[in-house]
Amino acid sequence: MARRTLVFAALVVALLAAVIASLALGAVKVPAGEVIDILLGKGDGGSDQQIIEALRLPRTVEAMIVGAALGIAGAVLQGALANPLASPDVIGVTGGAGFGAILIIILFPGSIALLPVGALFFGLLAATLVFAFAWSGRNRGSTGKVILAGIAMLSLFTAGTTGLLAAYPERAPSAIFFIAGGLTSSGWQELEVIWPYFAVGFIIAACLIRPLDRLALGDDVAASLGSRPQLIRLAAGIAAALLAAASAAIAGLLGFLGLVVPHVVRMAGGTSSHTFVVPASAIGGAALLAAGDTLARTLRAPIEMPVGPFMVLLGVPLFLWLLRKAV
């Protein structure tokens, strides 16, 4: 119990540190004390306050929401499918969202504002197809069927994406930022459109914490306790699809985060109880993405690099270190 509390506290501290760094660092450096004053509404209304409120705060909030969403998406999927390799990739969302975004970038470069909509639409479409196939015929809703249908759908949409990139090689460079995954300083406008998808995803995930703990003891125990295992899996898939598609719409393809963060918090906390893993994955994902984004836009400022590779640089050593110690 104490270990979990400690890990949770460490994650919260890491998140606070990442958030303050994300708000303080950039082309103009703002001292941490002033950042805190501005956040508490005690700013002097100067240029620092404008930079933080108009540019860095929306971006930091995006990083926190997307990081939390991907962490939760991975945690509920790994729990629902009882498979450590589960992530938004395996229910087709990442493949679909990637295809939707590249379709807009390459075929409708004039309407780039539609990119989040394309990513969201195709991400959810891919997940819907996966669940339609996995929930038909015999053995419907079984883990194996969901994962196999997901991998088939991922291959299909990835092939579509590669086909588009190969057909229009001159437009491929503008797609790289999306594929690598990255946030932009475009204010609140994306979140204003996408937030309901995050909200519904977060609410479903919160309701799934107890059912997922039951499912961890097997379908029969879950059924004995009054749950319907297939319904839990379907709800987890819907929550993860919403969260991952909305994340892709804002920050591109960051599937790695959803795979690794739940494992890191499970190994660090020494428990697979979802009461701990789901909230801890949210905090951990938010901290990791906020930190990664800060690095990505400050290391070679003013050039912004995609955040995906930086998160991998931060996350993989931690993951491997914990993996070595895990039983």
Nearer to other proteins, 171 or 228 (CB): 228
User: Is 138 a binder of other proteins (CB under 8 A)?
Assistant: yes
- Is there a cis peptide before residue 262, judged by omega within 30 degrees of 0? no
CA dist., res. 311 & res. 295, Å (int) = 9
Compute the Cα dihedral for 22, 64, 195, 96 and give only its sign: positive
Shortest Å, Cβ 243 to other proteins: 19
Nearer to other proteins, 209 or 250 (CB): 209
User: Is 6 a binder of other proteins (CB under 8 A)?
Assistant: no
User: Is 136 a binder of other proteins (CB under 8 A)?
Assistant: no
User: Is 216 a binder of other proteins (CB under 8 A)?
Assistant: yes
CA dist., res. 94 & res. 126, Å (int) = 9
User: Is 59 a binder of other proteins (CB under 8 A)?
Assistant: no
Instruction: For 272, list phi and psi in degrees, rounded to 5.
Output: -110, 15
Using CB under 8 A, which of the segments 194-202, 269-277, 283-291, 302-310 binds other proteins? 269-277
User: Is 221 a binder of other proteins (CB under 8 A)?
Assistant: yes
* Closest by CA position to 87, among listed 181, 298, 95, 61: 95
Nearer to other proteins, 138 or 173 (CB): 138
User: Is 227 a binder of other proteins (CB under 8 A)?
Assistant: yes
Nearer to other proteins, 40 or 327 (CB): 327
User: Is 270 a binder of other proteins (CB under 8 A)?
Assistant: yes
Nearer to other proteins, 193 or 206 (CB): 206
User: Is 213 a binder of other proteins (CB under 8 A)?
Assistant: yes
Among 210, 230, 309, 322, binds other proteins (CB under 8 A): 210
User: Is 279 a binder of other proteins (CB under 8 A)?
Assistant: no
Neighbours of 232 (CB within 10 A): 22
User: Is 199 a binder of other proteins (CB under 8 A)?
Assistant: no
Shortest Å, Cβ 228 to other proteins: 6
Using CB under 8 A, which of the segments 153-161, 185-193, 211-219, 314-322 binds other proteins? 211-219
* Segment (H or E) for 13: helix 2-24
Query: Is residue 134 within 8 Å of residue 149, measured between CB atoms?
Result: yes
Q: Count of residues binding other proteins (CB under 8 A)?
A: 25
Q: Is 92 exposed, middle or buried (0-12, 13-18, 19+ CB in 10 A)?
A: buried
Axis-axis angle for helices 57-80, 274-298 (nearest 10): 140
Query: Is residue 229 within 8 Å of residue 212, measured between CB atoms?
Result: no
Please provide the DSSP assignment of 126-152 as one string: HHHHHHHHHTSSTTTT-HHHHHHHHHH
Interface contacts to other proteins, rule CB under 8 A:
82, 138, 206-207, 210, 213-214, 216-218, 220-221, 223-228, 266, 269-273, 327
